[in-house]
Chain A
Amino acid sequence: MKKMRLGEIADVIAGQSPPSKTYNSTKDGLPFFQGKADFQEKHPKIRMWCNSKKRKEAEPSDILISVRAPVGSVNLCDRLSIIGRGLSAIRPRSGIHADYLYYFFKMNEDRVAILGTGSTFKSITQDILKKIEVPVPYQNGSPDLDDQTRIAILLSKVESLIARRKKSIADLDELLKNTFLEMFGDPVRNEMGWEKIKIGEIASIRIGPFGSLLHAEDYVKDGIPLINPSNMVDGKIVPDKNLSLSQEKYNELKNYHLERNDVVVARRGEIGRCAIVETDSHLFCGTGSMFVRITKKYYPIFLQFQIYQTSLKDFLESKSKGVTMKNLNSKILSQLKVLKPPLELQTEFVTIVEKVEALKEKYQNSLNDLETLYGALSQKAFKGELDLSRIAISEELKPKDIKMDAPQVRNPDLTVQDESVKTQETREQFLMSGRRTEKTRTIF
């Protein structure tokens, strides 16, 4: 391993925004990427095209890095395209593998972000970028392309497993939504004709305490957790022990004690965000929340699912007051009509939800482990602590012989590659790109 400055191993091309009149969405010209908003997990998404003659181009295998607001995010370019002022293209030189460099910057996004300067928004200069030190596998006085390839293969494998797990989790979410629609239809349109009932008729609703009821001295560490919108993550309650209420204050304000099976709903921010209390531990409703305590025969999970996962969420959004920030008050929620199917059907749905949630949790744990594995392998790989000897470089990833025909004119491929087969193809091409580049330059 040898630390080399980015300026030694790659060219850094600063993007430049062409005149906005050259932008279009009719696929005229080349794809145009402006900043992090165009980034996806790995490759950028095409949202805009540009037909300007005056432009900065990024090529397949360039690493696109966000250089302003925010700094540090990276994607791997997979087609000839135009880059705007918010991006730079890092183009590996001979002997440097593009995927290897991509994985290095992926691991160091936070560190690069710290190098950004500026008060209104962060940005980073070409000079600073070029000084970033990259550890490069080294052998016989030059970068070792094979070991770079092996590291890229290894990280790519874990990356694809992570993607599969994320898809499994997303699929389970989709399964629940489809199951609900199949069993009950759309709760707003109610095309299946279920009886509907106002939430106020099956539950009592209470808004969290006014801010003036709580003072600075009431907040302590390791007290009774407050449940505010930020403590509701993906439908689950995640308490924060660092911002909690003193026992005295908790005892004093009994009206805001949360109980098992209460549905806590965010009053502001993301409308409809909610979670169910699944513990008997003491919890306290925060100023940013309200809670629904069901008093009739109705499943809390069934209620939560409708508020959070169906068209009712959009309905609530449209009813919320406020210009700067949407606000949900107890009257709106109380008047909200929800489906009231027979209890047996609710029971059936709730059982399915509980099974799927258990499976989802298992997949989430697996995902967490895979991400930990990715972090551990990245760390070891870029410190030169991995034994790479047992990583085979597949035949199809080896450089193909380059014919001595006339050089082929580059033809931009404007088709969006959504199919997994093409994605697979693309990934193989990238893994091969470093070596091919080297060969190409040698020949020419």
Chain B
Amino acid sequence: MLQHNPEIKSQIEQLWNKFWAGGISNPLTAIEQITYLLFMKRLDEIDLKNQSDAEFTGEPYSSRFEGVWVPPEHRDKKKEDQKPFEVDKKTLRWSEFKHYHAEEMLTHVQTRVFPFLKDMNGSESGFTHHMKNAVFIIPKPGLLVEAVKTIDEIFRIMEKDSVEKGQAFQDIQGDVYEYLLSEIASAGKNGQFRTPRHIIKLIAELVKPRLGNRIGDPACGTGGFLLGAYQYIVTDIARKSGNQELKPDEDGFVRTSVSAAYGQESKAILDKSLFGYDIDSTMIRLGMMNLMMHGIDEPLLDYKDTLSKGFNEPNQYQIIMANPPFTGSIDKSDINEDLTLSTTKTELLFVETMVRMLRKGGTAGVIVPQGVLFGSGKAFVAARQILVDRCELKAVITMPSGVFKPYAGVSTAILVFTKVYDKEDKVTEPATRNVWFYEMESDGYSLDDRRNKLDTSGDLQDIVEKFNTRDPETETDRKNPKGFFVHYQEIKDENYDLSPSRYKEMVFEEIAYEKPSVILDRLIANEVGEMDDKNLAKVESGIVRELLALKGMVG
């Protein structure tokens, strides 16, 4: 959607360039600082809107920017001694301090506005609860002034577009933040990758979240999967309400986040349905801002290590969508005692954690490194056995190694599974009868570091269509790696190997040869020229004699 707005794109590029030139070259650090600025701007906008709403209806309204605020370091003083340090809250408002001169603005934001945000401590927004460790590090007055101006300009353009093009302000805002996030092209410090949004959309199509489902992501990062589920559900509501403006995006997926598409009741349900956890507080802040910018006012994200003893949410989720970190390792003593796998590999522990989190009948769509599919270690096999025996493993979709570039070249796969047995249940009959395999060749983007959009959506739409119409009775052709079934017993006999290459039949293009007799005749003619058979028998040349013997054998 943003590709149709070159003006905003240009402003965002400028913003990034200013941070780069201003001394913050790490995109993750830059986006974090930009997020704080956006939050300041957002508080002001919301407050102004609420104020004007209250005036219109005549109701009393108490603005958070009324009164005075005393910095924490002075709060232990007597009241009269605090007076010199009192700050008029009005000056903490974006629309107020944006007019300050550069030096004054930097000092003001550093020592007053930012601490004021942190001081909210969740009283105004869940976001501020997670700002405990946040640090404002914009180093230069010039950078701050430029950033504030650019953000204002971006908001002005969004407002103008909203009026002129009829697109909801909320939707444009969300796209803007997503575009900002796309600049993060390096992995987080715990091995997190930002999942490409078209892969998230694909997974949403496979697991089909519904309004009212409790939806979780135990390693949510910037909230991409929760957002993907949210947009899928909103689109579903819009479709059912007869919306005629739904068009596929460049990847072939139909998505809208038109806020007007659903009523307040649906919104209230949906806002309380999305749960995310991450071990990285920076990611939590970015994730919360991402969801807020898309219209979810109070995201239910929390800083939590979902593999550790402190996390205990069994049997609670109808939908899980996740891309857990691949290369992590955890200290053995910290592992949640409910987990049965004897390993410290996080990619395996997350599999078991997600199975545990699901309600019976709940479905997960998750990304794993391909090593999980065929690793022969004991824990690898045990993890796969859980997926196949205790769950109905619906699909294994392997992805080419370029999908996560430029983060990493690792090969990955999507697993779709539905929980049938809980940990305490005895498996009377394996939950999986057949597993559907699909080898994705292309995801619609070049598989090099540039990841350029191709003319087609690759295999994405083919996967959705075939997954929805798959039938174990008819899809037995092992020669087609794009959609075939393998029976449970065969998988078990192969040590629960889940790699499609183990089961597919290789098709080799057969070389078309001339008939051997034709080749032999040509070989003989090249040696002695054209001769009749009688004279050929007289030729003494060793090669010719051997060729004639061959001709006698082959005919």
**A residues touching B (Cβ–Cβ < 8 Å)?**
111, 114, 117, 154, 157-158, 160-161, 164, 362, 365-366, 369-370, 372-373, 375-377, 379-380, 386-387, 390-391
Contact = CB atoms under 8 A, between A and B. Distances in A.
15 contacts: A111-B506, A157-B546, A157-B550, A158-B550, A161-B547, A366-B526, A366-B527, A369-B519, A369-B526, A370-B523, A372-B519, A373-B519, A376-B514, A376-B519, A379-B513
B514 A391 contact: no
B522 A154 contact: no
Contacts of A157: 546, 549-550, 553
Contact of B553 (A372, A379, A391): A391
B508 interface: yes
A157 B523 CA distance: 14
A376 B515 contact: yes
Closest 3 CB pairs of A and B: A376-B513, A373-B519, A391-B553
Nearest to B552: A390
A366 B523 contact: yes
Nearest to B516: A376
Contacts of A386: 554
B555 interface: yes
Q: How large is the interface on B (under 10, 10 to 19, 20 to 34, 35 or more residues)?
A: 20 to 34
Contacts of B550: 154, 157-158, 161
A164 B550 CA distance: 15
B522 A369 contact: yes
A111 B543 contact: no
Interface of B: 374, 501, 506, 508, 510-511, 513-516, 519-520, 522-523, 526-527, 543, 546-547, 549-550, 552-555
A360 to B, nearest CB: 14
Contacts of A117: 374, 501
Contacts of B555: 387, 390
Contact of B513 (A160, A362, A375, A391): A375
B538 to A, nearest CB: 20
Given A154-B554, A157-B550, A161-B543, A379 B510 contact: yes
Given A161-B543, A161-B546, A390-B555, A380 B526 contact: no
Nearest to B510: A379
Contacts of B523: 366, 369-370, 373
- Which DSSP category, helix, strand, loop or mixed, fits chain A's interface? helix
Contacts of A111: 506, 508
Contacts of A372: 513-514, 519
A373 B550 CA distance: 11
A362 to B, nearest CB: 7
Given A154-B553, A369-B522, 17 more contacts: A111-B506, A111-B508, A154-B554, A157-B546, A157-B550, A161-B543, A161-B547, A366-B523, A366-B527, A369-B519, A369-B526, A372-B514, A373-B516, A373-B519, A375-B511, A380-B516, A387-B554
Contacts of A377: 516, 554
Contacts of A379: 510-511, 513
A168 to B, nearest CB: 9
B405 to A, nearest CB: 15
A390 B513 contact: no
Contacts of B520: 373
Nearest to B527: A366
A397 B443 CA distance: 58
A70 B501 CA distance: 19
A368 to B, nearest CB: 10
Contacts of A160: 546
Interface centre among B515, B519, B526, B552 (most CB of A within 10 A): B519
Contacts of B510: 379
